[in-house]
């Protein structure tokens, strides 16, 4: 692994992969691992994504025994949606079937692999949701000392699904952005590998979403890939995955990358509209799409640079359209989080504005499971009919 370098996404400075760095030591912008160019996919390997795509990772050992079965998720075609919205094809990448029910498992597994190769015995993260559960679960699997830092005011509905994995859980009172930076600083000092939302190996893990989409479409990739975006780690990984396959000559073009946000917290979409390459803190964030409610995304600037370079798009959708899309997806059998429904809402909006034509194909990334956030049930009129058993026949008798 050691010949690949970490490159600063802003100033181009390079650093060694032997160090566990999350930020450029000169300009504090995110780092990215040098591109991997290869035509080598181990198509016989059907369960371990890090073995299947081995030539696209810098790992030296195979580190088996760390996997919980992350990745290799289905890409479903949704002809009913394609017909309804007048596009050629709509794909749904179902990340809800990951071991802790979100795509975060891919980046967690990649980061733990790196941590172990560097000799770390202590890992951690800062999160209030899916990433916390993911790191707690994979830390338990790997037998590492795992510390999860959460906001002081986290509701028990969110805390308990993390606590169940028996990691060390610390509620830290104070400013969340500061907690993020403090964790990286203390991690460096005390040898704790903090795998926060946009660390380089989390981005590497997310690459595999793109790799799988390429393979699942027989390398005839969709025109658009729509990604609910918060910190920016996942969208960076997906773009890097397509870029690596493109440069390797495996796909004819890179799909248009779409950063999808909620209007209630849209720092990236707002900067994009203003043609700015710098994120500003989004004031008073509020959206039902909690998993993407980051008002000051750590990879925000890099996402803007990437969208600019790749002619990507950023779009923000209304709360109403998020709820509507969540119900629509459930109506075809997929119960996703509100944050994940943002991808379908964005597709509809881009179709309405003509950005996606009737001849084009789009993939929505369904980032996480709806069961993670059951409070949303209150927003819907979900009810059941009721009757005495004796009256059941009357209800069912209609032919």
Instruction: Note the residues at the interface with Zn ion (CB under 5 A).
Output: 8, 10-11, 13, 24, 26-27, 29
Q: How far is the CB of 30 from ligand PLP (least distance, A)?
A: 11
Rounded CA-CA distance 79/230 in Å is 29
27, interface contact from Zn ion, ligand PLP, none, CB < 5-8 Å by kind: Zn ion
Single residue of 20, 216, 325, 337 touching ligand PLP by CB under 6 A: 337
Which of 2-10, 36-44, 143-151, 229-237 is the region at the interface with ligand PLP (rule: CB under 6 A)? 229-237
CA 289 – CA 337 distance, rounded (Å): 7
Contact partner, 8, from Zn ion, ligand PLP, none, Cβ < 5-8 Å per class: Zn ion
CA–CA distance, 333 with 74 (Å, rounded to integer): 13
- The answer to whether residue 94 forms part of the interface with ligand PLP (CB under 6 A) is no
Structure tokens at 349: 């909006």
d(CA 3, CA 51): 19
The verdict on 231 binding ligand PLP (CB under 6 A) reads yes
Q: Which residues pair with 77 in a beta bridge?
A: 91
**Which CB, 52 or 202, lies closer to ligand PLP?**
202
Rule CB under 6 A: say whether 229 interacts with ligand PLP.
Answer: yes
What number of H helices and E strands is found in the chain?
A: 13, 13
Strand partners, 30: 23
| Site membership for ligand PLP, residue 302 (CB under 6 A) | no
Among 73, 100, 287, 367, binds ligand PLP (CB under 6 A): 367
Contact 232, 297 (CB under 8 A): yes
Cα separation of 23 and 30, whole Å?
Answer: 5
Q: What is the radius of gyration, based on Cα positions, of the chain?
A: 21
291 binds, among ligand PLP, Zn ion, none (CB under 5 to 8 A by kind): ligand PLP
Residues lying near ligand PLP in the complex (CB under 6 A): 102, 104, 129-130, 197, 228-235, 291-292, 337, 339-340, 367-368
């Amino acid at each position: 692994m050691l010949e690949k370098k970490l490159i600063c996404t802003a100033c181009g400075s390079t650093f060694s992969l032997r160090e566990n760095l999350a930020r450029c030591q000169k300009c504090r912008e995110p780092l990215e691992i040098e591109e991997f160019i290869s035509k080598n996919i181990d198509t016989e390997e059907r369960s371990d994504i890090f073995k299947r795509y081995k030539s696209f990772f810098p790992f030296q050992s195979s580190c088996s025994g760390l996997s919980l079965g992350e990745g290799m998720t289905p890409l479903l075609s949704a002809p009913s949606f394609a017909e309804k919205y007048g596009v050629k094809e709509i794909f749904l990448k179902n990340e809800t079937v990951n071991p802790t029910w979100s795509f975060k498992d891919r980046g967690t597994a990649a980061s733990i692999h790196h941590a172990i190769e560097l000799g770390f015995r202590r890992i951690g993260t800062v999160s209030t949701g899916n990433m916390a559960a993911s790191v707690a679960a994979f830390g338990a699997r790997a037998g590492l000392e795992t510390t999860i830092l959460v906001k002081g005011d986290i509701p028990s509905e969110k805390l308990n699904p993390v606590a169940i994995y028996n990691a060390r859980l610390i509620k830290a009172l104070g400013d969340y952005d500061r907690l993020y930076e403090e964790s990286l600083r203390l991690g460096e000092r005390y040898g704790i590998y903090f795998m926060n939302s946009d660390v380089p190996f989390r981005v590497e893990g997310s690459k595999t979403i793109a790799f799988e989409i390429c393979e699942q479409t027989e390398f005839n990739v969709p025109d658009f890939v729509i990604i609910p975006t918060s910190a920016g780690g996942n969208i960076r990984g997906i773009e890097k995955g397509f870029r690596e396959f493109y440069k390797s000559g495996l796909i004819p073009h890179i799909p248009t990358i779409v950063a999808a946000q909620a209007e209630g917290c849209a720092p990236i979409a707002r900067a994009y509209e203003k043609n700015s390459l710098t994120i500003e803190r989004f004031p008073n964030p509020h959206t039902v799409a909690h998993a993407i409610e980051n008002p000051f995304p750590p990879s925000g600037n890099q996402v803007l640079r990437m969208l600019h370079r790749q002619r990507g798009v950023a779009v923000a959708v209304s709360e109403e359209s998020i709820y509507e899309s969540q119900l629509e997806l459930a109506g075809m059998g997929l119960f996703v989080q509100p944050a994940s429904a943002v991808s379908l809402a964005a597709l509809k909006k881009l179709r309405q504005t003509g950005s996606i034509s009737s001849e084009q194909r789009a993939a929505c990334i369904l980032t996480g499971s709806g069961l993670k956030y059951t409070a949303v049930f209150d927003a819907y009129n979900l009810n059941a009919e009721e009757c005495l058993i004796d009256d059941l026949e009357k209800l069912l008798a209609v032919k």
